[in-house]
Structure 1
């Protein structure tokens, strides 16, 4: 086996922007010198592209020897400490961190492409741990990498071959009438089987695949809205919009073209954006939201309370709804008389004059609690599981007939 290690500086572009490239270059030179001093015989340091370094073994590693594993683990921690140690440039002290990802590969199968791919995959996982994240990939991680590769290269084919499909989970008002539904994308891969959105959406967001998937979801939602409308039911569908998608220059134009094509009114679509999207490109997102708000589209902040939204932004943006994340709904139990975060979100929504939707409701106690606190709409298995297209159409048609009958009485 050979030992491979990728060291990728955290948020390094910010140093170049804040202090100039000459400072960034000086930091990399000092870090490189520190790392080089640590390496024993048999390991070589290389400068990678941009702000990363690569350590490769020049002689085979005995993968069965416990001592060699301990030496390499200890080396990685020493690298971490040396990178994190303060460094002084032009009388200014800088503190930097780096993600460290390492693995051991069969030298007979270790092409540059595989080494680079595996280490980049490991680096992304290490960075999710936060600044200075470290990850040593084990044998199971190679299977994860192979799965990741297959998923990332399957999006275009999946769209062409119709592997994606929508499930719809109804949202109810206090009288248990269906007022809207959330579009939930699903993927049945021909070889990998069912792949959870929690797994494939983050992979899609690394490329423009998320744009194509987002456009497909909007197209399908509009088709379903037209179908229900032709059968005499006017309802609403909420679709999740990724941050990468909404900041595209052609997003608003394509969205308008889609609703016109399917003869759907803009107010029949609820566009869900996450707090992370809101704060990462706030000015651009605000511009898109205001423009689309004038066209009649509505916006919901998804998973509200899990991010770091500024209340001033919320007040200024054309938001119609705050969606209470299931994480907070799960805290509604018999043990606690009050759930302060849920109460605060509902109170904030009232102050902003917007609706609230609680998702992930699983029992009557949670439902009653949310009703008493003034929550507007309700979603979860207690009311309905996500439904396939045919079942969803039957559900909204039946709900409409019941509502009409009740009104006539």
Structure 2
């Protein structure tokens, strides 16, 4: 049978079709049918080939690994991605087994899994770490292996697929860390949906609020509200969230047990990648303790811890406000400073705890006297202040009169004793009053300074007094301030000098001298110590002056000592310098550095030194006496005269004040006092120095009653140290 090629047959049919159709109708129909079927089969084949190419293209472009192994483990097919794994082409894998491309142990495991899948018919999915031979990088694959069957249901082998899950695993790990961080965070974290239903809270929230997760999930966070968060806070919160912005602020909430707490909150919208807001995130921190500490600090900055009264800072603020108001209304107000007389003595005698109780009772007593609108404050240890605003619209008396009435009321109230810890103590009080405003530019500090000046005037008058500031007081205060500054400059400019006044025995022989400080002012000339010493005693300037005098005196003693002359000098020692920490060691160093004989130095102290902290005084004086320095009690009989301290202290000398000597021998009272002092000194084996001896009668009276050393104009006036020393050296040449 002759078979023509299809193309040839088609050409032949085209050529002969018309005659044939005309001649042979039946044959023509048969040939047409054959031609149509052939055309359909050709179209089908082209379609199948197209689909095969599409499938192949898809198979090769899939980024996942795909392979097919027969029942014996031979690779029947794989995509290029699989080829990359072993460092070759897909064609290089076909016909091989796992033993050809992987270590034996790994191939055994692959074979085991393949056999399991084929025997059970159940797909196997697991994670496997694959190393790519192309560049050696590793990928974590999620592999799935399943049995493969033909169209008749016969098992062909195993189809495998591997998907790279490295990025997903990294994301999952990051998410795990994030979840762990959120869960372990010390800050309260809440996530809600847009309807404010809680979807998540962390452990910190549970600990902070006392609510369990199950109790709050699905609920609205308003269950935490205490009712003390201002409504405007919530209004600003929701306005920010509606704008898609973050809100920061403080919320006053309530724990499950009813306890209120304060939270610092940051609430933000959560956006999806497309920008859509789906949730709200709240990160909150319990700041209750911080707020309490802050309030405590602010309270301490403006209130006295012991009494609870406003302190100086708050008083100054209110005084500043009142000054401004008084100027605008052209009214006067008043400031009263109240000081407990001799509080320091009682405080040291009965202890700080007792003193604190007294101050608290003082505050309570004054508070009971202060009317509404006035301010009672504690300024310092035992100083209180009362700020009286102008009350003339409400009372008939003026502010000045009201201040005086208030002062008298305070004096009356403190005539009754204060009782604390079983002890009853009666204090008098000193008051300084200042009316303000006076000058147009007066400040709060100026008002306080003027009231303090008045207080010092009241105390200088003996205490238990009220003094109202007068312009003259202010001028005196300015003068004292100016003098203090000039004196301080004078110390640095060598304007100070030492004068010496002789001390002689009953026969008129010089046995020593007293060092007296003088100030030679460049403009005002020689200024007497009665003017500048009280100014220096109000500050540590007296310590600087005293140190300078002691340095000069010790240097002079040492100089004469080297020359073979024995010079004894007495120096006045201020209580402030004596109490200064480190004074004993400083004096010891001074004696050592100058080489002065400590036995030639006498320190004159007043009886007032013995009033305060007697135990400290006794201990310190014995330390100094152990160095060899002598002590003399200056102005004996004018202050705290008690024979008991003479027994406890290393006193070597009593100095009779000139006020007892000046009327001798005519004044019988003075005569009796002087005789008593001399007798006491004799019995205690103490030396006696009499100051202010100006007449022969005074000297005779003293000599008739004991071995008294004389100091006064009768024998010698104070002279500059260099002049005095020159004369003394002539009278007492080196032997």
Fold shared per TM-score above 0.5: yes
TM-score, scaled to structure 2: 0.49
* Aligned mates of 1:117, 1:102 — CA distance in 2: 11
**Corresponding residue SS for 2:385:** strand
2:364 aligned residue (23, 29, 40) = 29
Instruction: Specify whether residues 338 and 360 from structure 1 end up closer, same or farther in structure 2 by C-alpha distance, changes over 3 A only.
Output: closer
| Alignment deviations for residues 226-271 of structure 1 (CA, whole Å, 9 cap, x no partner) | 3434554321110011222223342122212222222211111111
- Which of 142, 151, 169 does residue 501 from structure 2 map onto? 169
340, 345, 350: which is aligned to 1:9?
340
What is the CA distance between 1:100 and its match in structure 2? 0.9
1:49 aligns with 2:384: no
SS of the residue corresponding to residue 302 of structure 1 reads: strand
Give the SS at the match of 2:461: coil
Which residue of structure 2 aligns with residue 98 of structure 1? 429
1:361-404 CA distances to partner (integer Å, 9 max, x unpaired)? 11111011011111421001111111112221122113214x97
Question: Deviation of residue 338 (structure 1)?
Answer: 7.7
**Change in CA separation of 1:28 and 1:367 when aligned onto 2, cut-off 3 Å:** same
Counterpart for residue 210 of structure 1: 542
Residues 45 and 356 of structure 1, relative CA distance in 2, 3 Å threshold: same
Counterpart mapping for 1:260-279 below 5 A: 260-279=592-611
Distance 1:32 1:193, change over 3 A: farther
Call closer, same or farther: CA 1:295–1:190 in 2, change over 3 Å.
Answer: same
Q: How many residue pairs are counted as aligned between the two chains?
A: 394
- In structure 2, do the counterparts of structure 1 residues 315 and 68 end up closer, same or farther at CA, with 3 Å as the change threshold? closer
* Corresponding residue to 2:482 among 150, 156, 163: 150
Superimposed CA distance per residue, residues 268-317 of structure 1 (whole angstroms, 9 cap, x where no aligned partner): 11111111113323222222222222222111111111122432331232
Matched, 1:284 2:616: yes
- 1:4-403 equivalences under 5 Å are 4-11=335-342, 14=347, 17=352, 19=354, 21=356, 24-36=359-371, 44-50=374-380, 51-58=383-390, 72-84=403-415, 95-104=426-435, 106-189=438-521, 194-334=526-666, 336=668, 339-401=671-733
* TM-score normalized by the length of structure 1: 0.84
Query: By how many angstroms is 1:75 displaced?
Result: 4.7
Deviation of the 1:70 alpha carbon: 5.5
Quick one: distance in 2 between partners of 1:320 and 1:23? 39
- Asked whether the 8 Å contact 2:333–2:435 carries over to 1, the reply is yes
Q: Cα gap change, 1:252/1:367 in structure 2, threshold over 3 Å: closer, same or farther? A: same
Q: Provide the rounded CA distance (Å) in 1 between the counterparts of 2:521 and 2:371.
A: 45
- Following the alignment from structure 2 to structure 1, what is the Cα–Cα distance between the partners of residues 692 and 508? 16
Give ranges in structure 1 of 5+ residues lacking alignment. 38-42, 61-65, 405-409
Helix, strand or coil for the counterpart of 1:222? helix
CA contact (8 A) 2:604 2:632 kept: yes
Moved more, 333-342 or 90-99: 90-99
Off by >6 Å, runs of 4+ in structure 1: 86-94
CA distance in 1, matches of 2:420, 2:595: 62
8 Å contact kept, 1:274–1:304: yes
Q: Which has the higher mean CA deviation after the structures are superposed, 3-12 or 355-364?
A: 3-12
